Structure 1
Amino acid sequence: MSKTLHTRRDPAVNFYSPIIPLSLISYLLSFKAGLESLFYSSKPKAPPEEPRTAWEQVTSEIQHRINRHEQHWWQRSGYALAVLLRNAGYSDVAQIKILEFFARRIANNLGVTNEPGAQRWKSFMTDDNNPIELSWDWHTGVERPTVRFSIEPVSLDAGGPSDPRNERAAPEFKKSVLQALPDTDMSWFDHFETFFSEGTDRNSVEGHPSKVFWAFDLGEKEVTSKAYFFPGYRARATNSTNLQVISEAIVSAPSCKPEKLGAFHAFATYVHEHEKSGAAPLELDMLAIDMIDPGQSRLKIYFRNRQTDFQSVRDTMTLGGRVANRDMDQGLARLRDLWDALFEQEGDSVPLGRADHRTAGILYNVEFRLGSVQTPKAKIYIPVRHYARSDAHIVTSVSKFMDSQRHEKRTGEKTGDTRLEQTPAEGQDPTSPASAAYAQALSTIFTDDAVSTRRGLHTYIACSVQTGGALRVVSYINPQEEKLRKPIPPSQQEEDSR
């Protein structure tokens, strides 16, 4: 009986675990933790996710709230703008703010998508009627570049039976801009818009149907606007010249007292003397204003000269010799260097190639503020889309020029010759960050073939002489749809990765 009791156990009551020392338990737990650490640390870590670009972030926010027309412009011109902003070095905060402005205020005012049977508005903004133009302001090569864009507001029905003259877009766009940019001063805009349309034949044309352009300067902290008006419609209606109409418009504008218009009168005198010389008349195309207080705003008059030799450029930039100083001499020497590089030619009297087009010849403007008694400042817009070999050649020529000017200004080298012959110091990279960024931006936006073998992406290369004789240079770009690389929306990227 005793033996039986020692061999039979109730498993629920009489089972006892062996006694294990605490030190051994601690050791075993420590060993287990070590194995787990070794196991998990040996597993490959997932690569960190690439941060989304500003364009991708804004796209995610707005893609379900915009119609197909807005989507068309956002996916094309909006993307091109985003690439320029990023490559120009704007902060992420600034990029997002600017792109949101474009998505909400601009994309819905550029007309219909390019689809079969669509009635597209024939905008004068670009030669292929694209209603938007982008620009990269190099400044003098030392400063960080800035980006801008210009548009003609276009309604969805523009050119069709319900809005044949694109009259619906103007008031709606003006209201939208004021909502987005409440500090915009509309006093001069209202005056000039009314003046240039008053008494005109609604069916008349001025070689194009466009009436008003808007432009936006994109700062790191704020967006400011400008407006452009065409005097030709009222000139035709009143049997006047464009200069006469521009003069009447300026003289009657708020704050424009006669004693404050000395610079304008100097320009008008130059125009009359140019005509008396027997040269082809200058064609005055546009009047532009800054949308700020009139006392601070610039007045800019755009005009075209059909002569394309550099001697004509020299005469126009100096307004017939009225501007004669060391800065202008140095600036013209630099302009000549850039001119020769762009067009691969030499000689002041050699004209550029023949181009029979409304925008052929050379475009200029003069700018001045109220109260300026000096001669206005002239700026040249070289229409490279008509005369340069290719867009790749334009990129190379402008980049080399800007790098050379940047190097000269930074090193302070003085050779006694104002022409840009300085070379970078030995071992120094001749390519500036801005030049590399610009080339990268264009290769990201456009196809290789569009840049390397054709022209038309660059519309103008604008140059103005600054204090000290340096050139301020701006590249104007037409985001031509058929030459764009099509970006993949973030939503599509997610689907493709599944």
Structure 2
Amino acid sequence: MSIARVTRRFEMQAATCRLTKTVSNSFLGELRLGPPATPVPGGGRRSRPQANGSFDPRGGVARQDTRDFWLTLPPAMDATKGRHRGASDRKEPSHLATPVEQEHGQRLISQEEAHVQFGRRHPSRFLTAKHSDAAMPGATTTAAATTDVVSQTHAQGAAANGSLDSKASKLQQPLDVVNSVIRFHNRDHQFWWDKSGPHLAELLAQARYPKADQYSELLFYALHVVPELGPSPDPETGDMRWRSPQTPDGTPIDFSWEWGPGGRGVVRTSFEPIGPLAGTPADPANARETDAWIRHLDAQGLVSGLDLQWYRHFSAAVLPSDVGRVRLDDKLNFELAPQAGTFVTRDISRRGDPMVKLYMFPGLRAQALGAGVSNLDVVTRAVQTLPPDQLEHLNAGPLLDYLHEAATRWGMETGIFSFDLVDPRASRIKIYTRAPATTVEYLLDALSLGGRYDLTAAYSPEALADVKDFWRIFIGEDAPDVMPSGGKERDGPGFYFTVGGGKPASAKVYISPMSFCRSDAEVLQRLRQYFSTRRDAEDMLPQMDNYERALKNIYGTELLESHVGSHFYVSCALQKDQLRIVTYLCPQILAQETAAREARKGQQQQLPQE
């Protein structure tokens, strides 16, 4: 069946199918079709919980959780052929419905039925859904299979009735479809999905992802990211046990848009996994949740090509062995996302498999080691203690030498260390830095690694002109050569340096618009100014229109024009003949919740007192 046909069928929803779940420890987990059943009173059957332990690299089990997710079908619906059965050919399902399910006219399809009817499709995709390690053999299905289940059930079932439900025909957007089949039982999960799911859906749609990919990514986000975003703010006071300094307002999730060729963007998600007890005496430092999430991906086979060799090495070399010994100052609290020192991203690739990247904050270990140890010292030692063959292949020596020079020359500071969770020979490391300098001299020095690389030999004159223009457009002509001290840590423009994969080191620019723009509308104006004066303006301006439309739909014109913070970084990287541009977006969930709460208080104060 073609993707287009699957997509059309998936859109024709008839409001007869629901995905529901049973979860212990408030975790939403991997998709399970027809889990192993045990009898329950009343003739129904209930799944046997499966424990899923997450291993911590420094020893011990990070958490135990049990995850179930049910797919229910309308009564007497044949999942194989999508037709209603008559009384003469009706078959009893292998898992009898519970009294509640009987009351609502639903039935469960069995693990065997799901496996046989819908098969193993696209095993390399992120959304492969499995039982835990203790699950029965052969109990594997995929999101693509789930798409077929829902689409065939609704589309063919409705066709058998001779017409489509008028309301279902209006469910044209993937977010509407996913909302019609997913239901959260946890208030925190529902909050984060309601507030951030539409953001991701809008970006995917305006980036022109195929609808089949939009369904897949939204389902993955709902199943495997939303449950990791931690407790939601108190609806009355706004209090949160855990705020992430990863974004300006503390929202634990952000999105980015890479400006790709052909008018199509590439969307990424980045988030800090937050445990349900983060910020409480039971888990004051949120010290295990990132590891638990990565181990969950690995144990469930959710990421094709996932390799944890460097994860184990750098966890031991970059993170503090005892986070409780670290004394956090204001600078660390601002720079570091989780106090445990990690957050993760995943690229929603248009080619090949999505990739997971891990980000670590060496400042925690540097502080724990005492005076005289810098973040760069921690990173250098971690890299230099790699196995000799991996260190030689990485060829990070020239980059590390330059970073030590730039620390003296420009006051450059190392903030974040990152790497890909793939085979070490294909993986790359990234080192994020910033300095208070704003001059073009500083720009060219960083791009050439202090003159170690000849930029004119590697890049065209047009590409070098582009990067200078980008720098001037976003920093502005009136910026001081050196930013004043005492400002926000994000003030100065920075670079992240990438090396690995058999390629020489390269530098990418990132700039915080909050330091140089008055509003997000001004950021959009400067982006349009840049793209409209490039050689490929004809290709990029339609994408600019789509991007601006997405942001207006997400934030609203009033918010974009009144403040800056939705864009918290704009970035560019030199390529042979042009720049690769990336914009980083904060959903502003907590900021908007605060504004709404203050507005309600103001309205209540204006009410006449009795």
TM-score (norm 2): 0.63
| Deviation digits for residues 82-111 of structure 1 (CA, Å, limit 9, x no counterpart) | 100011011111001101111011111111
Which piece of structure 1 moves more, 218-227 or 441-450?
218-227
Give the Cα–Cα distance (whole angstroms) in 2 for the partners of residues 201 and 484 of structure 1.
32
Amino acid at match of 2:314: F
Amino acid at match of 2:581: V
Does residue 124 (structure 1) correspond to residue 242 (structure 2)? The answer is no
| Deviation digits for residues 284-335 of structure 1 (CA, Å, limit 9, x no counterpart) | 1121111111101111111111223333223222222223233275434212
Question: For 2:414, what is the secondary structure of its paired residue?
Answer: strand
For 1:245, the equivalent position in structure 2 comes to 378
| Deviation digits for residues 323-379 of structure 1 (CA, Å, limit 9, x no counterpart) | 3233275434212323333344268x745688711222122111111554x4x1000
The one of 429, 443, 448 equivalent to 1:313 is: 443
For 2:554, the equivalent position in structure 1 comes to 445
The one of 367, 381, 386 equivalent to 1:236 is: 367
Q: How many residues align?
A: 411
Give the Cα–Cα distance (whole angstroms) in 1 for the partners of residues 241 and 314 of structure 2.
27
| Deviation digits for residues 183-215 of structure 1 (CA, Å, limit 9, x no counterpart) | 311121122112223544424133442511100
Give the Cα–Cα distance (whole angstroms) in 2 for the partners of residues 236 and 451 of structure 1.
38
Give the Cα–Cα distance (whole angstroms) in 1 for the partners of residues 445 and 554 of structure 2.
37
Does residue 274 (structure 1) correspond to residue 393 (structure 2)? The answer is no
TM-score (norm 1): 0.76
Which aligned pairs between 1:137-216 and structure 2 lie closer than 5 A?
A: 137-139=258-260, 141-142=261-262, 144-178=264-298, 179=300, 180-204=302-326, 205=328, 206-207=332-333, 208=336, 209-216=339-346
Question: For 2:244, what is the secondary structure of its paired residue?
Answer: coil
Taking a change above 3 Å as real, the CA distance of residues 272 and 477 of structure 1, as seen in their structure-2 partners, is same
Give the Cα–Cα distance (whole angstroms) in 1 for the partners of residues 416 and 168 of structure 2.
52
Preserved CA contact (<8 Å) 1:256 1:370: no
Question: For 2:169, what is the secondary structure of its paired residue?
Answer: coil
For 1:476, the equivalent position in structure 2 comes to 584
Which aligned pairs between 1:84-123 and structure 2 lie closer than 5 A?
A: 84-115=203-234, 116-117=236-237, 118-123=239-244
Which piece of structure 1 moves more, 250-259 or 112-121?
250-259
For 2:543, the equivalent position in structure 1 comes to 434
Taking a change above 3 Å as real, the CA distance of residues 258 and 430 of structure 1, as seen in their structure-2 partners, is closer
| Deviation digits for residues 217-250 of structure 1 (CA, Å, limit 9, x no counterpart) | 0024642211111112222233432222212212
The one of 225, 228, 239 equivalent to 2:356 is: 225
Preserved CA contact (<8 Å) 1:188 1:254: no
Does residue 384 (structure 1) correspond to residue 384 (structure 2)? The answer is no
Give the Cα–Cα distance (whole angstroms) in 2 for the partners of residues 245 and 344 of structure 1.
34
Preserved CA contact (<8 Å) 1:69 1:112: yes
Larger Rg: 1
For 1:265, the equivalent position in structure 2 comes to 397
Preserved CA contact (<8 Å) 2:428 2:498: yes
For the aligned residue pairs, the C-alpha RMSD in angstroms reads 2.7
Amino acid at match of 1:456: G
Structure 2 unaligned blocks of 5 or more: 1-165, 594-610
Preserved CA contact (<8 Å) 1:76 1:484: no
Preserved CA contact (<8 Å) 1:153 1:213: yes
Taking a change above 3 Å as real, the CA distance of residues 358 and 395 of structure 1, as seen in their structure-2 partners, is same
Which aligned pairs between 1:396-435 and structure 2 lie closer than 5 A?
A: 396-405=525-534, 408-409=535-536, 432-435=541-544
Deviation at 1:452, TM superposition (A): 1.4
Give the Cα–Cα distance (whole angstroms) in 1 for the partners of residues 438 and 217 of structure 2.
37
Preserved CA contact (<8 Å) 2:383 2:391: no
Preserved CA contact (<8 Å) 1:352 1:387: no
Give the Cα–Cα distance (whole angstroms) in 2 for the partners of residues 185 and 54 of structure 1.
32
Give the Cα–Cα distance (whole angstroms) in 2 for the partners of residues 224 and 218 of structure 1.
8
For 2:108, the equivalent position in structure 1 comes to none
Which piece of structure 1 moves more, 166-175 or 296-305?
166-175
Amino acid at match of 1:267: L
Give the Cα–Cα distance (whole angstroms) in 1 for the partners of residues 404 and 269 of structure 2.
33
Structure 1 unaligned blocks of 5 or more: 1-45, 410-423, 486-498
Give the Cα–Cα distance (whole angstroms) in 1 for the partners of residues 241 and 439 of structure 2.
36
Taking a change above 3 Å as real, the CA distance of residues 464 and 182 of structure 1, as seen in their structure-2 partners, is closer
Between the aligned residues of both structures, percent identity stands at 28
